[in-house]
């Protein structure tokens, strides 16, 4: 009989698999991919996942170690999920072992049994009597029995102390067989009889057209881009599609951006359905995450809602995938396995042969391009549900106008007018802190981070200078560290400064700030929103946290203090992001009775992209931006991969990238790959960050196939390069941020 050799994926950054002999006493075992094994690795032990069983290994037989133990009687990973992980690992050029580490619940990776938690329930025995002579002189036991008898469904073990049930008394009762213990599987109960807990809204014409188109595709792979303006009732369309899906006995997976994790999102699903909803995101503890994962896998969760990583939740009967706010940056993971959950969701939908809906008021240029080329069905909802009007946009040219804490005179007047009319104002400034930097008026010294090529932000309230890139914090100096004068001035304005100024300008109205500094307390947001919902005139000022999820029906003026950053940034995606933010912020405002107005302060009032956006709307802007991308040969008309490197000493990262570049050039020639261009190596836009020197090399390709052929061969070579040991390097396929 040939040897059984187990080829395992281990949680190691190396892009290779590891061979082991079968553990002792497993001669009868049928090994299947996905089973977990505990194995020796160097001086440690690791949990590996079986990828395949082979009969020959490169490793000499006497060097091959046996695995220590088999952890699963059957594979806990459904084949569909395994397939998705394999695809992910290959596409993103990431080791399979580490890919599985990102994709699977922590407890599974740690070797925890792939079983739902067991819960013990205490019951009074059916024939137990309180006047049983055996407890006549044991009042504690009698009391305990009495309490248990009041709970005909039993009492969960962890609730014993809450009901003042003493464990010792129960054990004594158990010995007398007056009580019993039942072990139940933790998790959701049985499936509901009727799905709807709340009636559905009658869809308007546009919603209905979108709904019908998608419904007709249930049962097979088809991607849709649901481009509906903010407040157009996209969520209602999702809910009704999910209902269809539930009726067909299928499960639905809904991905939402990190920031939308508010209780509102979940509440809408819970109010609508009598369904078992599994919540999957990073704030859910490991045990609950494993339970949610198992419930979804076993068909005991009907709806799975979560952020990026929830994409890897297995489903027994997959029916539909929804990606809400598909343009959102949080779908892209920026560390380790650098995957894009939206892009992977498409792969998954195709593999599982189900429809996928990408919804947004401001679709990404990638998705719009896919809609134009016919890969996605395009469904538009151009009107708000309930008849509310779209806000009107005004560009306010602030060239040579003085800015007072970032706010121009005409903007102040507009804010004052709105408040006087008894309405609310939303002020948007995507920069937290008091001021972006501190300047010495005497010698020109600027406050800089000692570890980054970046200025430190003044946080006045806490009296600190903070680096927003590495977290460095120091006290605001009293005098200039360079010349000693005391004339230090904050330059520019962040939300803290604008808030302070607005409170002085409009003392009769509350000014509420929403950013990461103001809302670190968990329920601060909720309280804030309750105040706003009351409808009294007030000013709401904040960063992009304001742009998402919430509706502020009483806001009639949106003041955007700075749109220019997005128009002259070196990042080719900056203008797209700026446009999305402006439209999303604007979409928070106005209702049927009171259409909103959006005023944008800018030094570039004639910039064609800004003109398009404000006069003709997001889709016109997107057309123009796509035309520019096409002309420049940028995504979605080209494909990128970015090799990043960083090191403690200057020059090391470049040295590695120079070698990497030479290796790539050789491979391009050797494999006769066309349409590939290597750009760099160049220093990263922020060359030093957190004390490391950074550089990058960009690969630009007209076609995907040659790009991936290069990457496959290239990564193996890079792992062997000696200069790679001195640097931290990583590859980002389809990078979103080029720094
Ligand atoms: P979106 O997800 O597109 O931003 P929502 O689904 O949140 O929009 O809908 C915005 C508001 O319109 C919600 O208060 C919702 O209850 C309401 N709404 C949605 N569809 C309808 C409809 N067909 N009739 C009446 N109101 C609707
Ligand atoms: Zn000075
Ligand atoms: Zn820093």
Confirm if 104 and 309 have CB atoms less than 8 A apart: no
Confirm if 565 and 279 have CB atoms less than 8 A apart: no
The model's pTM is 0.89
On whether 470 is known to bind a ligand per the annotation, the reply is yes
User: Which positions of the chain have pLDDT values less than 50?
Assistant: 1
Two tokens at 260? 């939308």
The Å distance, Cα 524 to ligand 1 centre, comes to 26
State how far the Cα of 495 lies from the Cα of 514, in Å rounded to an integer.
9
pLDDT value, residue 258: 80
Two tokens at 545? 């946290």
Confirm if 332 and 338 have CB atoms less than 8 A apart: yes
State how far the Cα of 482 lies from the Cα of 30, in Å rounded to an integer.
73
State how far the Cα of 550 lies from the Cα of 541, in Å rounded to an integer.
14
pLDDT value, residue 570: 76
On whether 85 is known to bind a ligand per the annotation, the reply is no
Q: What are phi and psi of 525, to 5 degrees?
A: -60, -50
Class of domain 205-386: alpha beta
H/E element holding 349?
Answer: helix 341-352
On whether 661 is known to bind a ligand per the annotation, the reply is no
> 222 CB less than 6 Å from ligand 1?
no
- Matching residue, tokens 């019908």: 212
Per-residue model confidence as pLDDT tens digits over 524-577 = 677 777 888 888 999 999 888 877 767 788 899 999 998 887 777 778 899 999
From 385, 389, 390, 586, give the residue whose CB has the most ligand 1 atoms within 8 Å, as the site to mutate. 385
pLDDT value, residue 190: 65
> 364 CB less than 6 Å from ligand 1?
no
The Å distance, Cα 456 to ligand 2 centre, comes to 16
Nearest one of 132, 577, 81, 582 to 365, comparing CA atoms = 577
pLDDT value, residue 252: 98
CA 203 to ligand 1: nearest atom: 23
Torsion of CA 568, 700, 692, 688, to 10 degrees: -20
CA 230 to ligand 1: nearest atom: 4
The Å distance, Cα 448 to ligand 3 centre, comes to 8
pLDDT value, residue 680: 87
The Å distance, Cα 440 to ligand 2 centre, comes to 5
Per-residue model confidence as pLDDT tens digits over 273-289 = 999 999 998 888 999 99
DSSP β-bridge partners for residue 465: 458, 474
> 437 CB less than 6 Å from ligand 1?
no
> 549 CB less than 6 Å from ligand 1?
no
C-beta atoms surrounding 89 within 10 Å:
22
> 227 CB less than 6 Å from ligand 1?
no
pLDDT value, residue 236: 95
The Å distance, Cα 385 to ligand 1 centre, comes to 5
> 233 CB less than 6 Å from ligand 1?
yes
Class of domain 639-733: alpha beta
Q: Read off the DSSP letter of residue 111.
A: T
What is the third-level CATH fold of 389-435+492-629? Rossmann fold (3.40.50)
The Å distance, Cα 501 to ligand 3 centre, comes to 28
Query: 3-class SS at 360?
Result: strand
pLDDT value, residue 183: 75
Two tokens at 478? 């009293």
CA 324 to ligand 1: nearest atom: 2
Q: Read off the DSSP letter of residue 133.
A: G
> 231 CB less than 6 Å from ligand 1?
yes
pLDDT value, residue 411: 96
Give me the residue spans of the domains in the chain: 5-109, 118-185, 205-386, 389-435+492-629, 639-733
Q: Which CATH superfamily is domain 5-109 in?
A: PriA, 3(prime) DNA-binding domain (3.40.1440.60)
């Amino acid at each position: 009989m040939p040897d059984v050799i187990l080829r395992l994926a281990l949680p190691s950054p190396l892009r290779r698999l590891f061979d082991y002999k079968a553990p002792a006493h497993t001669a009868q075992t049928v090994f299947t991919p996905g089973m977990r094994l505990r194995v020796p690795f160097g001086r440690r032990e690791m949990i590996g996942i079986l990828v395949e069983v082979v009969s020959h290994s490169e490793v000499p037989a006497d060097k091959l170690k046996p695995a220590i133990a088999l952890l699963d009687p059957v594979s806990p990973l459904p084949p569909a999920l395994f397939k998705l992980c394999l695809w992910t690992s290959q596409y993103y050029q990431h080791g399979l072992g580490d890919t599985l580490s990102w994709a699977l619940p922590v407890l599974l990776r740690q070797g925890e049994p792939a079983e739902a938690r067991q819960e013990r329930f205490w019951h009074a025995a059916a024939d137990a009597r309180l006047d049983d002579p055996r407890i006549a002189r044991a009042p504690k036991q009698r009391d305990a029995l009495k309490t248990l008898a009041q709970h005909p469904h039993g009492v969960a073990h962890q609730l014993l102390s809450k009901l003042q049930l003493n464990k010792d008394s129960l054990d004594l009762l158990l010995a007398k067989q007056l009580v019993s213990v039942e072990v139940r599987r933790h998790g959701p109960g049985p499936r509901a009889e009727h799905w709807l807990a709340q009636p559905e809204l009658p869809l308007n014409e546009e919603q209905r057209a979108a709904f019908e188109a998608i419904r007709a595709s249930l049962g097979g792979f088809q991607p849709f881009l649901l481009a509906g303006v903010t407040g157009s009732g996209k969520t209602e369309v999702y809910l009704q599609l999910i209902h269809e899906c539930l009726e067909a006995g299928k499960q639905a997976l809904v991905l939402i951006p990190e920031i939308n994790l508010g209780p509102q999102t979940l509440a809408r699903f819970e109010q609508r359905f009598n369904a078992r909803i599994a919540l999957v995101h990073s704030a859910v503890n490991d045990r609950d995450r494993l339970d949610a994962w198992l419930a979804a896998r076993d068909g005991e969760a009907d709806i799975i809602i979560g952020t990026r990583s929830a994409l890897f939740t297995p489903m027994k009967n997959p029916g539909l995938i929804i990606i809400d706010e598909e343009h959102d940056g949080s779908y892209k993971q920026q560390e380790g396995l650098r995957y894009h959950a939206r892009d992977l969701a498409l792969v998954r939908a195709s593999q599982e042969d189900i429809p996928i809906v990408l919804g947004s008021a401001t679709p990404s240029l990638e998705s719009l391009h896919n809609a134009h080329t016919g890969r996605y069905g395009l469904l538009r909802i151009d009107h708000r549900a309930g008849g509310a009007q779209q806000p009107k946009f005004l560009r306010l040219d602030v060239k040579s106008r003085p800015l007072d804490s970032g706010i121009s005179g005409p903007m102040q007047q507009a804010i004052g007018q709105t408040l006087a009319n008894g309405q609310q104002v939303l002020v948007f400034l995507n920069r937290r802190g008091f001021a972006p930097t501190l300047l010495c008026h005497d010698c020109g010294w600027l406050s800089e981070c000692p570890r980054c090529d970046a200025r430190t932000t003044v946080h006045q309230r806490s009296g600190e200078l903070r680096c927003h890139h590495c977290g460095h914090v120091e006290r605001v100096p009293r005098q200039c560290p360079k010349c000693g004068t005391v004339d230090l001035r904050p330059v520019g304005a962040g939300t803290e400064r604008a808030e302070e100024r607005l409170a002085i300008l409009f003392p009769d109205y509350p000014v509420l700030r929403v950013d990461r500094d103001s809302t670190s307390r968990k329920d601060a947001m909720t309280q804030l929103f309750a105040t706003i919902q009351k409808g009294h005139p007030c000013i709401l000022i904040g960063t992009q946290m304001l742009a998402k999820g919430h509706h502020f029906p009483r806001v009639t003026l949106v003041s955007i203090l700075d749109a220019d950053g997005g128009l002259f940034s070196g990042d080719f995606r900056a203008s797209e992001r700026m446009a999305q933010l402006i439209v999303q912020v604007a979409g928070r405002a106005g209702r049927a009775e009171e259409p909103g107005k959006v005023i944008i302060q800018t030094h570039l009032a004639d910039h064609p992209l800004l003109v398009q956006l404000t006069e003709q709307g997001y889709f016109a802007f997107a057309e123009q931006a796509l035309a520019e991308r096409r002309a420049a040969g940028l995504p979605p008309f080209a494909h990128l991969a970015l090799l990043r490197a960083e090191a403690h000493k200057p020059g090391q990262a470049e040295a590695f990238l120079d070698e990497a570049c030479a290796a790539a050039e050789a491979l391009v020639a050797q494999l006769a790959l066309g349409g590939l261009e290597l750009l760099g190596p160049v220093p990263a836009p922020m060359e030093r960050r957190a004390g490391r020197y950074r550089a990058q090399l960009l690969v630009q390709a007209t076609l995907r196939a040659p790009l991936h052929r290069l990457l496959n061969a290239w990564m193996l070579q890079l792992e062997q390069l000696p200069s790679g040991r001195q640097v931290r390097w990583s590859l980002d396929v389809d990078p979103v941020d080029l720094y």
